[in-house]
Structure 1
Amino acid sequence: MTDESDALDAFERLGLTSYEAKVFIALHRLGSGTARDVASVTDVPRSQVYSVAESLENRGLLEIQQSNPIRYRPVSIEEAQATLEERFERERERAFEYVDTVKQESATEETQEDIWTVRSRDRVDDRVVDLLSQAEETIVFGTRLPALVTEPIKRTLEEQAAAGVSVLVISRTDEVRAQLGALEGVETAVPPAHRDDDQRSGRIVIVDDDSLLLSVVGDDHSETAIWSSDSLFASVLIQLIQASDEVQPDIN
């Protein structure tokens, strides 16, 4: 259950100051009250209550009764929620509108990051699935490790094959070929013999001859990948891989 400290932290994350949050909560506890009343139930100094209340009024979170002494009444919780949500939306739009402008401007720069690094198996999993789902014509997926064939990868390969994408799985491991070869529309093949002593490779993904991911597995079983898409780097490396690898059809 949320306590007052948690509520104060939450109000501050919504843009209120600590004093504003305390006065707003205090007024809901009181129903309405004067600066003296508010100061009696919170640690906000009475001299500060006036300016804090004025700020809350400007935010649309309380009303001021011009009496002697001045009294304050908070707006309803529903009205306060709506007010803060509207403010959050305005600030969100303002912030990301600027970010979008900067992004569009940077897209015109001549320099471009072509190669990206992804660390940790979960993040590599996500990137593999993302690349596979972008395929329009061809997919080549390879791994020697059954543990690197996740359910989302299997599902994406099968969905892409059903959509007409040519899907080829390359692996020297029988279990990998058996798992993925059982998927409708997925073909399997065996890599060249010179890969027999490979103990570090993780996964390879080639999509539409313009996107590439290569990963390696460390001694601690962690996985690190590099990937590139629609870049000269990806195009050249894919051509080198295709020129050096003559896969053997899976006859099992």
Structure 2
Amino acid sequence: MTETNDGGGDDRPSEHEAVESLERLGLSNYAARVFVALQRLGVGTAKEIHDVAGVPRSQVYGAAEELEDLGLVELQQSTPKRYRPVSLDAARRSLAENIERETNRAFDYLEAAREQRAAGETRDDVWTVRGHEPVNNRAVELVERATERVVYAAPDPSFVTDEFVDALRERADAGVCVNVVSESEAVRDLFADVSNVRASCPHDDPPADFTGRVLLVDSRAVLLSVLSDAPGSDETAIWSADTAMADILSRMIEGAIQTMSDI
């Protein structure tokens, strides 16, 4: 397969990168290479595709059949057989629909598998999450399960995503008591227009070494994160829910927050 790239500062992906991307979308290597070759040919026989894509001629037929099954290629029953790619818009839709279908199939099974877990399963008390985005996702999930009370403390707006604000708003509108505590005026301003969410400034300074966030949910779930001073380090959090450890940590942390604020 001939590698092409116009160069001259062109940011378009190379042919090799395009093939790799198609593979990640579910195509086999041969099918991806055949599909790319057909974009150049427009219409091609197995021999012509072999000449352009470098795919063994005996493998072109199977790759083309794979593409046909995915709705990416049309076949002309001539002698020899001729293949033509569908439009790129149609190909994009077909691949997107296939990904959505396979995703739904996988997660339908995963949801069923979760439901089949024994009610008396053993749980580890504390879990660790690494990375700012995974910690954000876990915080949102915990808030979404709140039924009575949420307390959240954060030092700056980077710990308050739009999705997290929406989750707090939804819970507050449902009658959950939501308190946000932060020294940062920028953090408090994020909740200025969010009804039923109380954002306040602590009257005592938090510990000087506190660099992360704290989330308490219903005295049954807790998330506590830290940021390392090391260059390139990311946020790390521990969390626990519906465990004796979560209950103990929640009481201790809420007591500490209450000494610094009026929640």
TM-score band w.r.t. shorter chain: 0.5 to 0.7
Task: Work out whether 1:14 is the aligned partner of 2:25.
Answer: yes
Task: Work out whether 1:104 is the aligned partner of 2:99.
Answer: no
Are the aligned partners of 1:158 and 1:185 in contact in 2 as well (CA < 8 Å)? no
Are the aligned partners of 1:168 and 1:189 in contact in 2 as well (CA < 8 Å)? no
Give the RMSD, CA atoms, in angstroms: 4.4
Query: How big is each residue's C-alpha offset from its partner over 1:34-69, in whole Å with a ceiling of 9 and x where there is no partner?
Result: 3333333331233433444444444442314232xx
1:38 to 46, 49, 57: 49
Structure 1 residue 72: Cα displacement:
0.9
Counterparts in 2 of 1:158 and 1:85: CA distance versus 1, 3 Å: closer
Are the aligned partners of 1:24 and 1:74 in contact in 2 as well (CA < 8 Å)? no
Query: How big is each residue's C-alpha offset from its partner over 1:203-252, in whole Å with a ceiling of 9 and x where there is no partner?
Result: 443332222233456554975432222322222333455678873776xx
2:217 to 199, 207, 227: 207
Find the counterpart in structure 1 of residue 238 from structure 2: 226
Counterparts in 2 of 1:166 and 1:190: CA distance versus 1, 3 Å: farther
Q: Which amino acid aligns with 1:66?
A: S
Query: How big is each residue's C-alpha offset from its partner over 1:83-126, in whole Å with a ceiling of 9 and x where there is no partner?
Result: 43443333223222222222222364521233222345665566
Counterparts in 2 of 1:150 and 1:39: CA distance versus 1, 3 Å: closer
The structure having more radius of gyration, on CA atoms, is 1
Calculate percent identity across the aligned residue pairs. 37
Structure 1 residue 18: Cα displacement:
2.4
Are the aligned partners of 2:224 and 2:238 in contact in 1 as well (CA < 8 Å)? yes
2:126 to 115, 125, 132: 115
TM score, norm. by length of structure 2 = 0.63
> Residues of 1 paired with 2:158 and 2:42: CA distance?
60
> Residues of 2 paired with 1:48 and 1:64: CA distance?
18
The alignment covers a number of residue pairs equal to: 239
Unaligned runs of 5+ in 1: none
> Residues of 1 paired with 2:70 and 2:158: CA distance?
53
Counterparts in 2 of 1:149 and 1:58: CA distance versus 1, 3 Å: closer
TM score, norm. by length of structure 1 = 0.65
> Residues of 1 paired with 2:36 and 2:256: CA distance?
70
Q: Which amino acid aligns with 1:40?
A: D
Find the counterpart in structure 2 of residue 91 from structure 1: 102
Counterparts in 2 of 1:14 and 1:229: CA distance versus 1, 3 Å: same
Unaligned runs of 5+ in 2: 1-11
Find the counterpart in structure 1 of residue 6 from structure 2: none
Counterparts in 2 of 1:152 and 1:62: CA distance versus 1, 3 Å: closer
2:86 to 76, 80, 85: 76
> Residues of 2 paired with 1:3 and 1:129: CA distance?
39
